Structure 1
Amino acid sequence: MNPLLLFEKWFSEEKELSNLKLPAACCLSTSGLDGYPNSRFVSLKEIKKESFVITGPLDSRKGREIENHSKAALSFWWTSTERQIRIQGDVSVIPKSEAEIYFKQRNRDSKIVSAIFEQGQEILDISYMQKLFKEKKAALGNKEVEQPNSWGGIYIKPIRIEFMEFKKSRLHERKLFEQASSGWKMTIIQP
């Protein structure tokens, strides 16, 4: 069984039952530059080339962490279906041409934020940030927002995926898929 197909099935079932505004939200974990794990919520764009696609500024903390240690983890928790999926994998940068497509799909305000701010860097105060945003938005008018050079995306090619279905009995069903030389190997693990 291909765990990526199972992921897509579970994701589809969650979207059918859920009224979540961001059903593709997931927790991306990386190895911090200071040795501490680092996690943040991001949005899954799609599964492509047998990998999970995440986008954003590559010069951000997460981008620098991935450049330093090209392994990451994703965690999904879906409340409607009471399912959790944990993914560990190897990271590579998506081609610039693909990043351009994802950037064009973003809403205008998100594009403007990406164009004028350096994610995670210090700023004087919130009102200054809001003023800067309003000024840039007004200056742009109806012009297209250019994609910053630092904005791109990553593939996370899984080596391990765990699916967990929560049960009222507390006998949660867990299936662990691991990459082996002959393809995916599945084991059932205890709750």
Structure 2
Amino acid sequence: MNLTLEQKKILSELVEVATSASDMKKMGELYKVSMKQILNRKYERVRGNEIEYRNSLKKNILYFLNLSEDQEKMIKLWINNNRIDTMEKFNFEMDMCEQRNKQIDINYSRNHEKLSKYNNKEINILELDYVYLSAYAEILLNSMCLLVQNNNIINILKGASPEKVVDYIKRMIYVEINIYIGEKI
């Protein structure tokens, strides 16, 4: 079942507020500078070793892919069950997801096959994906916090396909990220 106009409107507003609460929107142009500084520190930590830097970026990209996937699953579960966790349970679940995803082996973790697309790519592509996925995970987390705080939204989403809800949220977030980050950092 397709999303109704009311459902799309509430999801668009949710993402807009979540984006406003993100570092990306708060910092504006300084966000790109900040992210570039983070990337430079990562590069310095590996003493300019390009292979180690690539592996570090890949591990971070995998972390954000897995974390975002967990976040998306949680939203789908909320819609399927027509209820949202309490803030305490949500915070506990997110802490567990973050810890679990930080303890990954890049070669054996779920989604590791998605990293093969970076094998012959320029480093700037890995850097840009790192920045995008980092921003996506942050805005998605903000969206989830708003859902928990405004659990009446779940009633508006009742009967909607959880996959379509998550797909719509994802598209809205990437539109926002494109507005603030663009194609270069």
The answer to whether the superposition gives a TM-score over 0.5 is no
More helix as a share of residues: 2
More strand as a share of residues: 1
Q: TM-score scaled by structure 1?
A: 0.22
Q: TM-score scaled by structure 2?
A: 0.22
* Larger Rg over CA atoms: 1
Higher relative contact order (CA 8 A, sep 6+): 2
